[in-house]
């Protein structure tokens, strides 16, 4: 056991995971289920080079408890990748791999020791220190191979989302370069599970399913689709969003199928959070990717069960005498 900010944790050092088809990124085996809409929104937040907290907090209101309550997130991967070191690393990687496909020098750097290294006493510099250190990209046999290096990885809370985030970025870059998807390797220097989480989370077998959607596009169309999806996701977080606006996003007119399916699941969760049950069902039903749709169904069922449990608990709580209506 090792101790951390979440308490004692069981740990495996230098753990490696390989995914031979990164499009099969939607983890169905975790209980409670993952939130695919949050994973989608965070992936586009990263690709958009953003660090604003309000956007991702909409999709995961618990996030400030772990990453701090400021207006921006110190360790935001997208900000680091797009301009944190004075240039756009993603665009440079696309240029470099297009120009020299045999290159062994393409590394996307996230960790910045100037601001991420612990203080002299070993305490963290901020609550939001990047867990992902870097990505190492290579093209072999016309396939983009990806090694994701992590200093620390919570197998229940983090691993499923890290897989989704970085395989989406992998597929985005592969499409821009014009190559196929290779393996995705996740190497965690500390793969762990907190003792307090062992009664809350589990991994259960799931029926085999496959995704047949792709978000790989040529460079110009990929950039355009990224802008379109970013604008749609921003709209889905707006407090004053109207139902017809959400329904227009679900139609996804002119948006490539793979991107449209991601937006539909995000729209389903936006509708769910607003209490629009029918709209949430219709948005999810419009998703053509069966694997992604299943991930959403599991998440929505978990949320409904949790809400029912809370309601039952409240109904059984005695009302204090002084707050009763004694007429």
Residues known to be catalytic: 131
DSSP, res 78? H
Q: Which residues pair with 300 in a beta bridge?
A: none
Rg, C-alpha atoms of the chain: 21
Q: Is 284 helix (H, G, I), strand (E, B) or coil?
A: helix
Quote the CA–CA distance of 61 and 53 in Å, as a whole number.
Answer: 10
CB atoms inside a 10 Å sphere around CB 312: 9
196 token code pair: 């307090």
Contact 221, 303 (CB under 8 A): no
Contact 190, 152 (CB under 8 A): yes
212 token code pair: 């047949």
User: Can you state the percent helix, strand and coil of the chain, rounding each to 5?
Assistant: 45, 20, 35
Quote the CA–CA distance of 264 and 241 in Å, as a whole number.
Answer: 15
Contact 214, 171 (CB under 8 A): yes
DSSP, res 34? P
Q: Which residues pair with 186 in a beta bridge?
A: 17, 148
Q: Which helix (H) or strand (E) holds 184?
A: strand 180-194
Maximum CA pair distance of the chain? 82
Contact 90, 173 (CB under 8 A): yes
């Amino acid at each position: 056991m090792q101790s951390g900010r979440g308490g004692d944790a069981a740990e495996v050092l230098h753990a490696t995971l390989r995914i031979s088809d990164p499009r099969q990124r939607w983890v169905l085996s975790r209980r409670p289920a993952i939130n695919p809409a949050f994973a989608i929104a965070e992936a586009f937040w990263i690709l958009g080079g953003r660090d604003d907290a309000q956007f991702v907090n909409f999709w995961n209101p618990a996030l400030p408890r772990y990453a701090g309550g400021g207006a921006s997130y110190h360790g935001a991967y997208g900000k680091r990748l797009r301009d944190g070191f004075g240039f756009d690393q993603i665009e440079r990687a696309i240029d470099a791999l297009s120009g020299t496909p045999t290159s062994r020098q393409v590394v996307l750097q996230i960790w910045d020791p100037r601001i991420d290294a612990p203080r002299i006493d070993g305490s963290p510099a901020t609550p939001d220190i990047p867990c992902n250190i870097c990505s190492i990209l290579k093209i072999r046999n016309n396939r983009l191979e990806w090694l994701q290096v992590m200093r620390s990885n919570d197998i229940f809370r983090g691993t499923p989302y890290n897989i989704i985030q970085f395989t989406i970025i992998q597929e985005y870059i592969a499409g821009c370069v014009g190559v196929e998807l290779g393996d995705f390797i996740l190497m965690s220097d500390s793969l762990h599970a907190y003792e307090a989480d062992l009664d809350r989370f589990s991994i259960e077998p799931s029926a085999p399913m496959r995704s047949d959607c792709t978000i790989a596009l040529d460079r110009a169309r990929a950039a355009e689709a990224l802008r379109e999806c970013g604008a749609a996701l921003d709209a889905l977080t707006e407090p004053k969003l109207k139902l017809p606006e959400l329904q227009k996003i679900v139609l996804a007119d002119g948006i490539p199928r793979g991107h449209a399916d991601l937006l539909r699941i995000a729209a389903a969760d936006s509708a769910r959070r607003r209490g629009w049950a029918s709209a949430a069902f219709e948005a999810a039903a419009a998703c053509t990717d069966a694997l992604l749709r299943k991930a959403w169904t599991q998440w929505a069922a978990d949320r409904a069960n949790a809400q029912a449990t809370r309601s039952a608990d409240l109904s059984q709580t005695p009302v204090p005498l002084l707050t009763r209506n004694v007429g």
